Amino acid sequence: MNYIKLLGGTVLGSTMMVGTAAMAADIVIGVPNWPSVSAEANILKVIIEDNLGLEVELQNGTNPIVFEAMDSGSMQAHPEVWLPNQQNLHDTFVKEKGTVAMNPHGVEAFQGMCVDKATADAHDIRSIDDLTKPEIAALFDSDGNGRGEVWIGAPGWASTNVEQVRAKSYGYDQTMDQTQSDETLAYAALATAIDTGKPWVGFCYTPHYVFALHELQVLEEPPHDPSNWDVKQPTDDPNWLENSTAASAWDSAYLHIHYQKALEETHPDVAALFANAEWTTEEVSDMTFALVIDKKEAADYAKDWVAANEDRVIGWLAN
């Protein structure tokens, strides 16, 4: 595989505060800060308000905060939980405590490392192991310190922590400085690098709009091997980086709606919607393209999407 032509959307979240308005709402949906989750949250809001007559509030929050809020009852849904990235939260609140339920219809996703295609072709960069070579790493050195820079994700993303583990496991932490920044800034830097003919390497995933805009080389890796993946998060182990390993490719990821289990008793119609709603990878990619590239407001996009998909929405509500 040289590069993939997919679209799409990714991870983080600001600290959530549930205000008095949100407390008065019938349903509160958590919204971490990446484009597709915003689109999905707004779509669910439109469906609930237009069809069920309930008031819905959207509240920002990191993944852990949204899960804790679903557990306590101050939030009712997380529209896009990445698994295995948030496996620790899923295991705690779905499997152990049983206060959160998962929609079974996952959207398949990919995660890995990408180099702009021009640089990859010019220097025959094909494998993630190439990043351990000093002469290759030097291509990505923009500050003159003798080490390349690789964007590993945004601060607060679970995947960003995993990418630190992967850099250590593969050994390119010895040749590359791992940078963290907001996704919008990182992919703007990618666009600038391509326009100016400069190298770029960093975390990439689908569904995401970036593959619709640029040709990227996905770096080859050994197939995912559970025996060499033992990834801990900072919330689980203060020595998480030292005690973790991830020496093969990411396993396939799936994005699932998660919702408060108690809804099945208090608002069974809403629970049915959360359990039945289903998107394709391409649709989620289109959502992020619309919000980020076409600059559509999430609320306006959601209204148009629901109007164009009335039959599907009725099916979600009817089951």
Span 160-173, pLDDT tens digits: 999 999 999 999 99
Q: List, for the chain, all residue ranges whose pLDDT scores fall below the cut of 50.
A: 1-23
Query: For 209-253, what is each residue's pLDDT tens digit?
Result: 899 899 999 999 999 999 999 999 888 899 999 999 999 999 999
Helix 310-318 vs helix 268-276: crossing angle, to nearest 10: 120
Instruction: Write the DSSP symbol of residue 220.
Output: B
Closest alpha carbon to 133 in 115, 160, 110, 117: 115
Amino acid 156: pLDDT: 82
Tokens of 227: 């025996």
DSSP one-letter code for 222: P
Eight-state DSSP code of residue 172: G
DSSP state of 147: S
pLDDT tens profile 250-277: 999 999 999 999 999 999 999 999 999 9
What's the confidence (pLDDT) of residue 236? 85
Q: List the beta strands (DSSP E) in the chain.
A: 27-31, 56-60, 77-83, 100-102, 107-116, 148-153, 176-180, 201-206, 216-218, 229-230, 245-246, 253-260
pLDDT score for 139 = 97
End-to-end CA distance of the chain: 40
Residues whose CB falls within 8 Å of the CB of residue 77, separated by 6 or more in sequence, listed in order: 27, 28, 29, 30, 41, 44, 70, 257, 258, 259, 260, 274
pTM value is: 0.80
